[in-house]
Structure formats: C-alpha cells, structure tokens
Structure 1
Amino acid sequence: MRQAEVVVHGATSAGVCAAVAAARRGLDTVLLEPGRHVGGMTSGGLGYTDIGDARVLGGMAAEFRQAVADAYGVAPGHYAGPEPHVAEQIFLSWLEQAGVEVVFGAALRTVVTSGDRIFSAATLRGDYAGGVFVDASYEGDLMAAAGVSYQVGREDRALHGERFAGRREVMPGMHNFPPYVSPFRADGTLLPQVADGPMAEVGEGDGGVMSYGYRVCMSTAPDRIPFARRPGYDDEHWELGRRLFRHWREQGVSPRAGRLVGLEPNLPNGKADGNSLGPFSLSVLDRSAWAYPDAGPEERERIRLHHLHHAQDLLYFLSHDPEVPAVVRAELGRWGLPADEFADTGHLPHQLYVREARRMLGEAHLTEHDLVEGRRHPDVVAMGSYHLDIREVQRTWRWVYEHPDPIPMVVTEGYLSVGVAPYQIPYRALVPRREECANLVVPVCVSASHVAFSSIRMEVQYQMLGHAAGLAAARSAATGKAVQDVDVTALQEDLAAAGQVLSL
C-alpha cells in the first residue's frame, strides 16, 4: 500500500491545482486519475474559458492564465483560452516540477474509513493511504464512498426559498424548441431524443441535472479530420432535427451553422470550441444524464458513449443530411476535427462535460441568496462572479390546449441565466460536516444548491478552489488537525500571498 501525506482523487483542473499546491508546500502528494489525462474539461474541450469578472481571478487560476499567455507569447487574456493540448502540457509541467506522483487508470473501487477519517482508497492501480484526502472529481465518488452526505439534481423551491430553484417555466428563448413541432411519429410512438413522462410542477424539485455533452474542438486547417458517418449511425434518430429545420424553413428562418455548434475561431491557431447552442445542440437532453451521478461504472460508460456518439452523429448530420440547409452543410464542410488534438481518442475529447453531479452537504451550504445578495463570509477562500448559468435540463413534450383540439409539442426546459455581482466562497463549503469526515476537502462537488452551483461550476473557480483545498490539506496533514479545524486565518494568508483574491 502506498502511503502519502495528501491523496488527491481526480486530475481535473481542481485536482491538479490541489496536488501541486500541497506538493509545493513540501508534502508527499499522490494524484489518482481514473482516465489517461490531466486537466478535466480545461484540457478536454472547454478551451473557451468562462471567467465572469476578471478582478476575482487570482491564485493558481491567474497563474494558469499567465502560463497560457506565455505559451503563445501574448498578453494574459489575449485568447479566451488555450488549445486543449497546450492546457494539458501546462498542467503536466506543473505536476512534474512540484514532484507530484500521478497515477493514471486509478479508478476508485472502495474506500476504507476508520472512525471519522478516510484511511485508504482502493483503486484499479493499487491501494493508497493518506493523512488527508481531496476529492476533486466531477462526480464526487470518493466523497460518496466515504459516507459524506450529498444531493443530486434540482431541489424544491421551498427548500431554501430560492426564486430560481426547481422546475422552470417553459419559456421562449434561443435554447427552447419553437412551437408546433410534434414529438410523435406517424404511428403515435415518440421520436428519439425526446424524453417521455410528465414534468414536475413548476418550482418542484425533480432531481434533474444540467445536461451533459462534449465540447468538440474543431479546425479549418488543411489536415483536419472530416466529420464522418460513424458505424451505428441511425438516420431515424435525427428525425427531430429534420422537423426543426423544416419548421424554420416554413417560418422563413435561416439558421447559421455558427449558431448551432459555435464555429467562431475563438481559440489560438484558428480552432473553435464547439459549444451547445440553440434548441438542438451538442447537449443531450433526453434525461439520460440524470442517472449518471449515482450510476456504477458500466452504466456511466454506457451514458458516456451515448453522449460521445451524439456529438459524432450530430456533426455528421449537420454536415451531410439533405434536410439540413445547404448553407449550413457547406459551412460545416469547411470544418473538421483537429489532427493535433486528442489523438488517442479519435480526435474527440477525452472528457465528458459533467456540468453537475453530486453536491456535498457540508459545514456551510451556499444557496442562491449567498450569490444574489453577495453575502460575506469570514472564512472566504476564493471569489466567484459568473452569472447563474443553468443549462437546459430536459427536452420532453406536453399538450398545448388550443382550439379545437390539443396539440402535442416538443419543449425544452431548464435554461436560466441571471447576472450576479462578485461573491465570496467560504472554506466551510469545501469540507464535510465534522461528524461525517475529518480528513477530506472537496473543491468541485462543493456544498451548494443546484442554483448556486450553476455559477460556481466554472473551471477557473475549480482552479482557485483546488488551490485552497491543496493548501488546506497540507496544513491539516502537517498538523494532524481535522480539516474543519484548520487555521483559516493562516490559510487565507497563504492564499493571499499566492495572489488569491478574497475580497474586492
């Protein structure tokens, strides 16, 4: 069994920052990654970095931003983000320089606890004991296996008195389906890509998570990989898309390819970070993601492949199907997958965009009120500023009662965007309840409501929270104190000395 002072689970950007921060303080640190890459979404397709108010960007997030600038010989912020392979190179260099032992293929099997502490984590690559653990995974698997309380999905509006909680009203907007598109085939069965079953009442909690997808890096370079027809591609699976384009044609709407998948060259070297835009996009809205957070490895892999195939097939559909407007097909034809990205995963990203999974119920629980009202916290360890950004939760259908007979219509539900001023994130939201676990810090699946998490979930936030988690873990491991008893004033001084912004 490998014994370390700090064990970090999940090489997301938060996990890399946590491991590097602890190792820089001289602690023996191991970083366990179930996959084969480091960086999570920062190196896994999400090149275009959502920041919010740049004034709150500090610590290792600012350090990463500077490293990106140095890699391209430009000023910080010149590019909205790095190419995926450059992001991974930066993180790998940090880990190597800090002396972090990185173990790939280390999928979590079980966790051994003793009293209120985690003793070890058993993985497919061996067992790892530690003084303090950091769960920096998107899923919160280590946290859950240790018996720490958590929530999944949307809560009821009444739980925290949050205005934006629970199921949303179906409203018109760029991400919703236009009216009068039928969800049914001629034989009365439901089309693929439409979830069946009733929606919860408005404001009720339903356990739904924000949709997942793949952020696909694309290029117009001469050596690009064309969007090809995948073995297993099902023409009938895309009938809903054809109906959408027919509806737009009848209404005189001329969709642009760039507004369907985001084809603006917003990354260095003319690459694009393909985003989920509009009612029919890279996001999968059939509720399949709802089962992912608590699913076992086999079910998660099935869901992941479902999302990966959706991304592949959507790009082929938009660039080849005769029902897609010729101008869209022509524009998509100029693009393809970059030959110099994701070579070991068929030039598609290695990371599924898990926008939210489990969320811890910790010592402090952030809600919409903390963000909207800008509540101050004496134990602040980082700041956030991005708007409340709840992506679509489901695509389903409902009866619309119009004269003389009801009409079934496809609807998309869940999207919300509400601006907030810069806000503080307290250390207590990163640690479990004292009685549940005394040696675990959680910088990704933080203790927050669904609404609050929709802003906190940005990669730069994860980098800053990972930084704080790594320094807190180092202090806890060095002193033997519970993570809840870490000297927060000293931790804040460490963070401030490293450039972390704790107030404006």
Structure 2
Amino acid sequence: MTSTKTADVCVYGGTPAGCVAAITAYQEGASVILIEPSRWLGGMLSAGIKPRQDCPVPAAVGGVTRDVILELGDDPRDIMRGFHEWIAGTGITVIFERRVRSVRREGNRIAALQLETSQPDRWGVPLPASESVLDTVVAASVFIDASYEGDVMALAGVPYRTGRESRDAYGEQVAGVRPVTNWTPIDPYAVPGDSASGLLSHLDADHGRPLGAADDYTQAYNFRLYVTTDPARRAELTPPDDYHPSDFELVRRYVIHQGDDLTALRGIFPGWLNSGEYNYQRASLISNAPLGVSRAYQDGDWDERSRVWRCHIDYLRGLHHFLSTDPAVPEEFRAETAAHGLDAAVFPATDGWPPQLYVRVSRRLDGRYTVTHDDVRNRTAPADSIGLALFGVDVYPTRRIPHRDPETGQVGVATEGDMFIGGHLGTGKPYPIPYRAVTPKQSDCGNLLVPVCLSATHIGYAATRMEPVFCVLAESAAVAAVQSIDRQIDVQDVDVRCLQARILERGQVITWA
C-alpha cells in the first residue's frame, strides 16, 4: 500500500542543482520534498567533477552557488559529505532510492508523482525498471525537475528534444553531423578488406548523412575515474563474465598501429588526467569509454539506462583486462595497466566506481525560449536573465565509424562529433540564460521548472551544461516556484522583474558589465 507525502515544492533529483533548488525553496519559506533515485546527493560533483573546474570566471557566479557550492573543495568524499550535511541541517524531507514512474496531471498542472523503488547495486548501477515496485506518491504545488534525465518533464507529457539538430534548424553553422576526427588507417572489418564480414565491435555503421544534418546521436558519457596502484586502496578491475578478447580486436589493431608509443596508449587507459581524476581522452581514437551507446540512454526507460550504465562499467573492465593481458600490447604497458585498479578509498560505498555516470546531456526541454549558439556568442540580449553561463561549446565524440579518406581512398576508422569551440572561456564574455529557457510553454505545464534539462539546442546545451550554471539556474527557479505559490499563479506568469529583484537580493549575477 502506497503512502502520500505533500509539500509546497517537490524537487526531483539530488544533483547539485537539485540540492540548491531544495535549499533555496526552503529558505524562501516553502515546505520541500527532495527525491533522489540513488542513495547519494551531489550528482557529478560527488562523482569526480570539481565545483570550480568548469567555472572559469567565478565572478559570473553568485548566490548559494558562489557561497556554498564553489567552497565544497576538490575531494569527492568531502563534496558528498557537504551536500548531505547541508540538506540534513534543514527541514527538507529527502526520499532516497525512489524515482518517478508516472505523473498525474490536472489540467495544465502536475498534481502528483507516483514513485517506484530504485535501489542501485553495489557498483552504483540503477535498478532496472523490470525489478522496481510502486511506492510513495508525492503531491506538491510546484515541481522542479533537477535530474540529468528530465523524467518528470517527459512523463508529464512536456515536449522535449534529444539528439542533434540540423545546421539549418536554428542557423547554427556548427550543428548536426561534423567532420571526422582521429582518423586512423586501420581496417574496420572483421575480416580485413571484406566489408561483407561486418564491422568490428565498438564501431557504428555510418548512417551516411551529410555534414550539418540532424541525427539521434548525443555526445559520449563516461566515468571520472580515480585509479591507483596502492594495494591498500586498490579495488581490482576484473573482466566481465562474458569477456572475450575478440571483442577488443579494434583496440588490438589500434595498439599495433601505435607501436611502442606508451603516451598514446595511456590515452586509452587510464585516459586524460583532468583535475586529479581521469577523464575521456578525446584526442584518442580509442578511449576509456564506449561510443554510440549514450543515444540509447537519453530517452530510454530504466531497463535500457541500467543496461547502458553497466555497459560503461563492463567496457572499462574488459578494456583494462585486454590491455593487461593481450600479447599485442607492449609488455611494459601490460604491466603498467595491470598494476592499476580503482581507488576504493575515494568511492568506498561502490568499490571504487563513481556513483554517478557522467550523463553530459540527455533530454532538453522544448520551452518558451531555446538557447542556441547565438546566445553563447553573445548575439542576443534576453531581458529575463536569471543567471549567467560561460564555457566553450564542449562536445565529446558521438560516434566511431568506418571512414574512407577522400584523398587516398583508404578505409580507416574515425570519430565524429568532437568539438571544443573557444576553449574554457568560450567567447570570454558570460552570456545570460533567460527564465523562459527553464519553463515550459504554459499550455504544456503551468507548475514545472527545468533548470538542468533546460531548453537549448544540442550546441547551446553543450556550452551551458556545467554544474555551476545548473546550480545558478536552480536557485532562480526555486525563487520563481515560491513566488508562483505565494501569488497562486502559473510559473509562466511570475513577474520577471520581481523575480530578478529577489534573486539579486540573494546575490545572483544576471548581467555582465
């Protein structure tokens, strides 16, 4: 038998933005319920990303993001502890290990969420939908979807986007299918030279769409890894049960092509040393993450997402074992790789696996305003700014495909989709995110705000998708939520001038001089 919990504001997702939204709504006088499908708060900031590393101009950040989030430090353990203590010091009700299964609507408003169980396994992999059971119902006046997946938004029937728009859809010259990168002259076929033999594992067939065309791919996900050779901290990386070296034939051919270049091989594993943790090495044809599978996650159910999450784990386990044992790998690098395991001291609750898969983008709200590359380039001036963003268009590869070199005619393997326009500083000038980008059209839903899966193109989102920005937008969204409750109006009818006045009082930065 299910129970019903009620609050003024329901925040879905214990991401950094979700925690900020919950705290803000509570500070503004609302009763709050925070729902987190896992048992951990802090999302990617508790799973390897540092609060300041994607914030190149801290002066553009204000409010509790500046005062609390950016001060959490660099150690994931301290960051996670900080989020839990921050929330525990309030009257906020937190529901862990539950996720939304369905949404009940009344007219243009969400009335309640039906939750189901969602206990993660010992490595943090979400519970498949087929194994969950119905649980609590949560009713609220306003809902804030602060999840990385946008499930409340989607289940409420609010329109959204996935994949990549075409170049023509919003006049974005860098949108859609992109030129290939990392082209390498290695044969992509199971039987070299025989296309009828099929592609090797970890390759996608090229859909053949022209440059600038739309498709359903999205940039790669990965884990931000902490590895160690210290026996006291090391959690062994074992191969998956279905491991077979033939699944890594593409890696074998790439290793042979690189020869004794150990620097290039370290780009595969452990990857790129970012800020103490290892990230995806985008300059390597083969990396520590699978390619092409993220597109199944973005709009999938939790059976599919659980599979994709485990795919990332098993790929890394198999890759590590291959690089540690296969005779094609230089002996020195085999030994070096075999000595590494996950650092269980950093993530002890999950045997060293980060508790959050780095979901760089999934669904994106189709809202009242769409953030595009023009916004990123400071070519717009929306009057309803609720916070600033500042980063380059940062897209990790989307596909790994066979590709024929147009000059030589030789078939090789390449990645596609990778771009980093403007570096960390983008155009060097922070750009405003309008309130309309976090609110649906009024006819779609009148009591929902979406500060993480905000309304943006694939390109616009690629520059905006940083945790400090999500947190800034979440604080402003929470203030708007409380104002809509106090005035008994839809979130779209909130007076933007009153909203901006209040968030400025809270220390937000909404314009850049």
TM score, norm. by length of structure 1: 0.89
Provide the C-alpha distance between the structure 1 equivalents of 2:91 and 2:327, rounded to a whole number of angstroms: 54
Q: In 2, are the aligned partners of 1:424 and 1:503 still within 8 Å (CA)?
A: yes
Deviation digits for residues 70-124 of structure 1 (CA, Å, limit 9, x no counterpart): xxxxxxxxxxxx2222211111111111221111121211100111100000001
2:38 to 30, 35, 42: 35
Matched, 1:314 2:319: yes
2:216 to 207, 214, 218: 207
Deviation at 1:424, TM superposition (A): 0.8
Q: Give the number of equivalent residue pairs.
A: 479
Q: CA RMSD in A?
A: 2.2
Provide the C-alpha distance between the structure 1 equivalents of 2:433 and 2:154, rounded to a whole number of angstroms: 22
Deviation digits for residues 105-149 of structure 1 (CA, Å, limit 9, x no counterpart): 212111001111000000013100100000111111110111111
User: 1:349-428 residue pairs with structure 2 within 5 A?
Assistant: 349-400=354-405, 406-419=409-422, 420-421=426-427, 422-428=430-436
Deviation at 1:339, TM superposition (A): 2.3
User: 1:167-182 residue pairs with structure 2 within 5 A?
Assistant: 167-171=177-181, 176-178=182-184, 180-182=185-187
Deviation digits for residues 261-317 of structure 1 (CA, Å, limit 9, x no counterpart): 3464834xxxx34434422112321x2221222212212211211112112333333
Q: In 2, are the aligned partners of 1:431 and 1:483 still within 8 Å (CA)?
A: yes
Deviates more, 1:128-137 or 1:40-49: 40-49
Q: In 2, are the aligned partners of 1:168 and 1:202 still within 8 Å (CA)?
A: yes
Provide the C-alpha distance between the structure 2 equivalents of 1:324 and 1:460, rounded to a whole number of angstroms: 41
User: 1:21-100 residue pairs with structure 2 within 5 A?
Assistant: 21-47=24-50, 49-69=53-73, 82-100=74-92
Q: In structure 1, the residue corresponding to 2:259 is in which secondary structure?
A: helix
Matched, 1:134 2:169: no
Matched, 1:449 2:466: no
Q: In structure 2, the residue corresponding to 1:103 is in which secondary structure?
A: strand
Deviation digits for residues 234-280 of structure 1 (CA, Å, limit 9, x no counterpart): 21121111111111128x6852626753464834xxxx344344221
Partner of 2:468: 460
Provide the C-alpha distance between the structure 2 equivalents of 1:347 and 1:305, rounded to a whole number of angstroms: 15
Q: Residue 138 of structure 2 aligns to which amino acid in structure 1?
A: Y
Partner of 1:74: none
Deviation digits for residues 472-496 of structure 1 (CA, Å, limit 9, x no counterpart): 2122222222111223223223322
Partner of 1:112: 104
Q: In 2, are the aligned partners of 1:53 and 1:386 still within 8 Å (CA)?
A: no
Deviation at 1:332, TM superposition (A): 3.7
Provide the C-alpha distance between the structure 1 equivalents of 2:499 and 2:60, rounded to a whole number of angstroms: 18
Deviation at 1:338, TM superposition (A): 1.8
- Change beyond 3 A, Cα 1:225–1:291: closer
Q: Residue 442 of structure 1 aligns to which amino acid in structure 2?
A: V
Q: In structure 2, the residue corresponding to 1:398 is in which secondary structure?
A: strand
Provide the C-alpha distance between the structure 2 equivalents of 1:259 and 1:496, rounded to a whole number of angstroms: 46
Q: In 2, are the aligned partners of 1:384 and 1:424 still within 8 Å (CA)?
A: yes
User: 1:191-340 residue pairs with structure 2 within 5 A?
Assistant: 191-223=200-232, 224-249=234-259, 254-255=263-264, 257=266, 260-262=269-271, 264=273, 266-267=275-276, 272-277=277-282, 278-285=284-291, 287-333=292-338, 335-340=340-345
Q: Percent identity?
A: 34
Q: In structure 2, the residue corresponding to 1:283 is in which secondary structure?
A: coil
Q: In structure 2, the residue corresponding to 1:155 is in which secondary structure?
A: coil
Deviates more, 1:232-241 or 1:357-366: 232-241
Q: In structure 1, the residue corresponding to 2:511 is in which secondary structure?
A: coil
Provide the C-alpha distance between the structure 1 equivalents of 2:174 and 2:497, rounded to a whole number of angstroms: 34
Q: In 1, are the aligned partners of 2:268 and 2:281 still within 8 Å (CA)?
A: no
Deviation at 1:427, TM superposition (A): 0.9
- Change beyond 3 A, Cα 1:8–1:467: same
TM score, norm. by length of structure 2: 0.88
- Change beyond 3 A, Cα 1:65–1:147: closer
Q: In 2, are the aligned partners of 1:318 and 1:328 still within 8 Å (CA)?
A: yes
Provide the C-alpha distance between the structure 2 equivalents of 1:276 and 1:442, rounded to a whole number of angstroms: 31
Deviation at 1:402, TM superposition (A): 6.1
User: 1:129-168 residue pairs with structure 2 within 5 A?
Assistant: 129-168=139-178
Provide the C-alpha distance between the structure 2 equivalents of 1:408 and 1:263, rounded to a whole number of angstroms: 28
Provide the C-alpha distance between the structure 2 equivalents of 1:311 and 1:361, rounded to a whole number of angstroms: 34
Partner of 2:14: 11
Provide the C-alpha distance between the structure 2 equivalents of 1:60 and 1:280, rounded to a whole number of angstroms: 39
Provide the C-alpha distance between the structure 1 equivalents of 2:401 and 2:216, rounded to a whole number of angstroms: 15
Q: In structure 2, the residue corresponding to 1:462 is in which secondary structure?
A: helix
- Change beyond 3 A, Cα 1:244–1:495: same
Q: In 2, are the aligned partners of 1:67 and 1:90 still within 8 Å (CA)?
A: no
Deviates more, 1:145-154 or 1:212-221: 212-221
Provide the C-alpha distance between the structure 2 equivalents of 1:481 and 1:95, rounded to a whole number of angstroms: 28
Q: Residue 225 of structure 1 aligns to which amino acid in structure 2?
A: A
- Change beyond 3 A, Cα 1:402–1:365: closer
Provide the C-alpha distance between the structure 2 equivalents of 1:329 and 1:61, rounded to a whole number of angstroms: 43
Provide the C-alpha distance between the structure 2 equivalents of 1:291 and 1:274, rounded to a whole number of angstroms: 21
In structure 2, the gaps of 5 or more residues are 117-134
